[in-house]
Amino acid sequence: MDVGRVPTRSLHDGRPVPVLGLGTAAYGAALISDDSQLRALQAALEMGYRHIDTAEIYGQGRSEELVGEAMRRTPREELFITTKVHQRHLRHDEVLAAMDRSLTRLQTDYVDLYLIHAPNPAVPLEETMEAMNALVDQGKTRYIGVSNFSVEQCDEAFRLTRSLIATNQVHYSLLVREPEENGVLAWCRAHDVLLTAYSPLEKGAVTRDETVRRLASDLGVTPAQLALAWLIHMDHVIAIAQSDDEEHLRENLEAADLRIPDDVM
């Protein structure tokens, strides 16, 4: 796969987003060396990853710092960087302050996508969305979105935004089909919103499934590649997969180019 040539899906305004991104929830963890994770991030960018997903809560901010260090070698305009505001920071002024901290850690003037990491029933969504709208107006994020939102919560966010909702990031995999069952996938398609699937490999559980292993073997691909390809070739679905192992990073990235027969899908 050529660097920077990962297949894309379009946001509501036509802006392309790589269908497969690198998740960084475990980056910055105290039990893993920062140096090895920084090298993994740099290797991922050299391989062709251009969509990086992080959050202020990951590693208590250290994940964002590592992403910021790694991306200095890549032209900023080539990257699609997503980060998230934690549910305990959803008051208006707290959202604005959280963004400024994230931008400092990421060493950038803007992010491409800023998400509400999870709803907080104690804070009116209208207050949070007003701050999210302001961040778009200020140029600190190009797009806003949500994560772990139900259909009803998506409806409310959609009503309150001035710039549309780019994505709802939810738990979705071959083994966890809740977005199909609770209407979230159908809602995203109906409103031209991308569904971003996190935990697509279920910490390896998908790759140990007998059916996945058999079908992958028949196709000459790995179980991880089949599981990722199943997601990212569905309408309005993209995925983020996490690894700090260079072999797995490359294996996952190659899934973006796979073509899966209809009967296998």
Give the residue numbers marked as catalytic. Answer: 58
Whole-number Cα distances in Å, 87 to 23, 120, 133, 170? 19, 6, 17, 15
Which residue in 101, 93, 165 sits closest to 136, CA to CA? 165
Q: List, in sequence order, every beta strand (DSSP E) within the chain.
A: 8-10, 16-18, 20-23, 51-53, 80-85, 111-116, 141-147, 165-171, 194-198, 237-242
Where do we find the tokens 């920071």? 89
Q: State the CB neighbour count (10 A cutoff) for residue 216.
A: 20
Where do we find the tokens 């809560």? 57
Q: What are phi and psi of 9, to 5 degrees?
A: -120, 160
- Give the Cα separation of 240 and 252 in Å (integer): 10
The SS3 call for residue 146 is strand
Give the type of residue at 25: A
